[in-house]
């Protein structure tokens, strides 16, 4: 299955065989390799086996809940996870995002919309730039995808890394949630700003000395977020 010109490998975890197959077809059309897993309890094993660049994860799965699968994958890897959910407005979305998903797509979605989401998450693979940034007391090696504080490496998921880099590149600018959605998630139209809130919280829990009083990613009330000044 692994073609040489593949844009990436995607693990599709969905119990609906037809939908899974359709996803495979659409993904192949767009140049992605994919593998289908129809059971929640086998998802993690297949993930280890297949080593995908991105996981499409349905929330309602037989064997094991999608949320648990998401947590387990996130525990061992920062690979992007995009949730497929039938309930776009419920607490499920927030729970899914908090369990580590990077983004979500509400069924029924348009194939192009899904592809845009996937591209936004795997595009960083194509653009390694030699660059080093500092934000507060953190040093970011953009090409090496590493964040260090006083020589100590901090483990971030690619999305969290992108978010941090986005803020760090223009420390003078206040980013609204909508702008962040566009630049980090690749949304062209206004979307769910909960995505930003949840991921900023997750990012803070990893990089802040005191997540209650953030110094690296600062909230600008009523506007959005900006990078904290180097102290």
Partner 1 sequence: MPRRSVSSTVRRGLTFWRRSVQARVVASTVLLSAIVVGVVGWFLLQQTRDGLVDARVDRAVAEATDETNQARTRLAALPGTDDDVSTQLRQLADPILQRAEVRGFSVVLAGPVTEEPIDVASAGARYSTDLDLDSVPASLSAHFTESLDPAWTFTTMRYVDDADRPEIAGVAVASAIQLPADGKYYTLYYLFPMQQEEDTLALVSRALLTAGGLLLVLVAGLTWLVTRQVVTPIRMARRTAERLAAGHLEERMWVRGHDDIARLATSFNQMASSLQRQIRQLEELSRVQRRFTSDVSHELRTPLTTVRMAGDVLHDARNEFDPVTARAAELLQTELDRFEGLLSDLLEISRFDAGAAALELDDINLIDVAHRVVDITRGLAEQRGMTVTVQALREPVLAEADTRRVERIVRNLVSNAIDHADSGPIVVLVNGDDHAAAIAVRDHGVGLAPGEAALVFNRFWRADPARARTSGGTGLGLAISLEDTHLHGGWLQAWGQPGQGAQFRLTLPRRAGQPLRHSPIPLVPDDVEAL
Give me the phi and psi of 30, to 5 degrees please.
-90, 0
Q: Between 26 and 139, whose beta carbon lies closer to partner 1? A: 26
Q: Which of 29, 132, 155, 229 binds partner 1 (CB under 8 A)?
A: 29
Query: Which C-beta is closer to partner 1: that of 50 or that of 109?
Result: 109
Structure tokens, 122: 């795997």
Nearer to partner 1, 110 or 188 (CB): 110
Q: Tell me if 157 sits within 8 A of 184, measured CB to CB.
A: no
Two structure tokens written together for 28: 């192949």
Residues 6+ apart with CB under 8 A from 76: 48
Q: Does 112 bind partner 1 (CB under 8 A)?
A: yes
- Closer to partner 1 by Cβ: residue 77 or 193: 193
By C-beta, is 85 or 157 nearer to partner 1?
A: 85
Using CB under 8 A, count the residues that bind partner 1. Answer: 17
CB of 24 to partner 1, least distance (A): 10
Judged by CB under 8 A, does residue 110 bind partner 1? Answer: yes
Q: In angstroms, how far is CA 214 from the centroid of its own chain? A: 22
Q: Two tokens at 41?
A: 């309890």
**CA quadruple 225, 130, 120, 59: dihedral positive or negative?**
negative
Tell me if 26 contacts partner 1 by CB under 8 A: yes
Asked if 39 interacts with partner 1 (CB under 8 A), we say: no
**Binding flag, residue 86, partner 1 (CB under 8 A):** yes
- The DSSP bridge partners found for residue 218 are 226
- Give the DSSP letter of residue 125: G
> According to CB under 8 A, which residues from 2 to 21 bind partner 1?
16, 18-19
Shortest spacing between CB 91 and partner 1, in angstroms:
10
The C-alpha atoms of residue 9 and residue 176 are separated, in whole angstroms, by 32
CB of 171 to partner 1, least distance (A): 28
Distance, first Cα to last Cα, the chain: 51
25 belongs to the binding site for partner 1 (CB under 8 A): yes
Token pair 């000395």: residue: 209
How far apart CA 121 and CA 200 sit, in angstroms, is 17
Going residue by residue from 88 to 107, which x/- string records binding to partner 1, judged by CB under 8 A? -x-----------------x
**Residue 153 found at the interface with partner 1 (CB under 8 A):** no
Q: Which two tokens stand for residue 126?
A: 């194509």
Q: Which residues bind partner 1 (CB under 8 A)?
A: 16, 18-19, 22-23, 25-26, 29, 86-87, 89, 107-112
């Amino acid at each position: 299955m692994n073609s040489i010109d593949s844009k990436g490998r995607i693990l599709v975890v969905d119990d609906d065989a037809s939908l899974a197959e359709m996803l495979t077809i659409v993904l192949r059309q767009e140049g992605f390799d994919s593998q289908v897993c129809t059971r929640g309890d086998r998802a993690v094993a297949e993930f280890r086996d297949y080593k995908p660049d991105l996981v499409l994860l349905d929330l309602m799965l037989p064997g094991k809940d999608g949320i648990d699968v998401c947590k387990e994958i996130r525990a061992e890897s920062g690979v992007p996870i995009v949730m497929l959910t039938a309930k776009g407005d419920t607490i499920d979305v927030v729970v899914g995002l908090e369990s580590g998903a990077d983004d979500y797509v509400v069924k029924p979605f348009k194939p192009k919309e899904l592809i845009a989401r996937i591209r936004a998450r795997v595009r960083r693979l194509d653009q390694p730039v030699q660059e080093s940034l500092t934000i507060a007391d953190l040093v970011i090696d953009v090409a090496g995808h590493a964040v260090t504080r006083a020589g100590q490496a901090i483990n971030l998921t690619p999305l969290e890394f992108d978010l941090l880099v986005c803020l760090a590149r223009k420390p003078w600018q206040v980013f609204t949630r909508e702008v962040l959605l566009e630049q980090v998630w690749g949304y062209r139209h206004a979307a769910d700003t909960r995505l930003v809130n949840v991921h900023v919280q997750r990012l803070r829990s990893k990089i802040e000395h005191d997540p209650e009083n953030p110094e690296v990613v600062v909230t600008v009330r009523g506007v959005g977020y900006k990078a904290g000044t180097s102290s």
